[in-house]
Amino acid sequence: MRPDAAVRGTLRIAAPIAFARLHLMPRMARFLADHPDLRTDWVLGDRPVDLVEEGVDLAIRIGLVTDQELIARRIGQMRRVTVARPDYFAKHGRPQHPRDLTAHDCIVYTGLATVDEWHFAGPDTAPILVKVSGRIRVSASEGMRSALLEGLGLAVCPTWLFTDEIDTGVIERVLNDFEPAPLPIQAVYPRRRLVSPRVRAFVDCLVEEFRADPRLAA
């Protein structure tokens, strides 16, 4: 790709830690090679930041964005699955219906608005809501991934959180017929008259890259 001379300066990006590690940083070599006059400054964490106050050009957010002061562009989609290690299921059994989760040690991610109220979609039923509990609560998806791989419980988590652990059987899916509704992955930036070339270039890159990744494609 021919470098765009207008894409220069510093691009300040806010993103969740695990998402940046697994899906943003691996794509940066190509992007920076295409734009040699660009630098990046990363603000990593699972809690949303105030883009204007923090001087952030662009943030990656998962779920609906309702702030009218922000422009949101959909760049992908997050599917969620219910998983645990095989030895967890061997000890505690495999849930057959979401309501069975009330008897399980659930790893609760506090970064979602619903926290310990997990929502599922049934094949021919109304949406299902289950109040869960467990001994592990985490505020970052990186912690949820670690707890799952240690066999500390069962969780509903995004497919993008794993590389090949599901395919290789390190962790196993259950409740396949009750997969929660997918959530949009969005690039958001402060509402303004003009979008900078560096923001536009980065978002365009992610749209192209994520479209080719089955874990992220809409």
Residues 84 and 171: beta-carbon distance below 8 Å = yes
pLDDT band at 3 (very low <50, low <70, confident <90, very high): low
Residue 166 class from Cβ within 10 Å (0-12 exposed, 13-18 middle, 19+ buried)? middle
The pLDDT score that the predictor gives to residue 197 is 92
Task: Provide the residue type at 211 as one letter.
Answer: R
38 Cβ contact list (under 8 Å, min separation 6): 7, 8, 9, 10, 11, 32, 198, 201
Decide if 9-77+183-211 and 80-178 have a common fold. yes
167 Cβ contact list (under 8 Å, min separation 6): none
CATH of 80-178, picked from 2.40.30.30, 3.90.730.10, 1.10.10.10, 3.40.190.290, is 3.40.190.290
pLDDT band at 63 (very low <50, low <70, confident <90, very high): confident
Task: Provide the residue type at 99 as one letter.
Answer: R
HSE value, Cβ hemisphere, 13 Å, CA-based, for 28 = 14
Residue 55, token pair as written in the block: 């001087």
Cα separation, 204 vs 76, whole angstroms: 12
- Show me where the domains of the chain are located: 9-77+183-211, 80-178
The pLDDT score that the predictor gives to residue 113 is 77
Q: Quote the pTM value.
A: 0.87
Residue 190, token pair as written in the block: 């402060």
Residue 193 has pLDDT above 70, yes or no: no
Residue 147 has pLDDT above 80, yes or no: yes
pLDDT band at 1 (very low <50, low <70, confident <90, very high): very low
What's the whole-number mean pLDDT along residues 156-167?
Answer: 92
What's the whole-number mean pLDDT along residues 9-38?
Answer: 95
Residue 23's DSSP bridge partners are none
Q: What is the dihedral of CA 62, 66, 70, 74, to 10 degrees?
A: 40
Task: Provide the residue type at 118 as one letter.
Answer: W
What's the whole-number mean pLDDT along residues 44-62?
Answer: 91
Residues 174 and 84: beta-carbon distance below 8 Å = yes
Q: What is the DSSP string of 166-181?
A: TTTTSSEEE-GGGPPP
What's the whole-number mean pLDDT along residues 1-14?
Answer: 79
Domain at 9-77+183-211: CATH code? 3.40.190.10
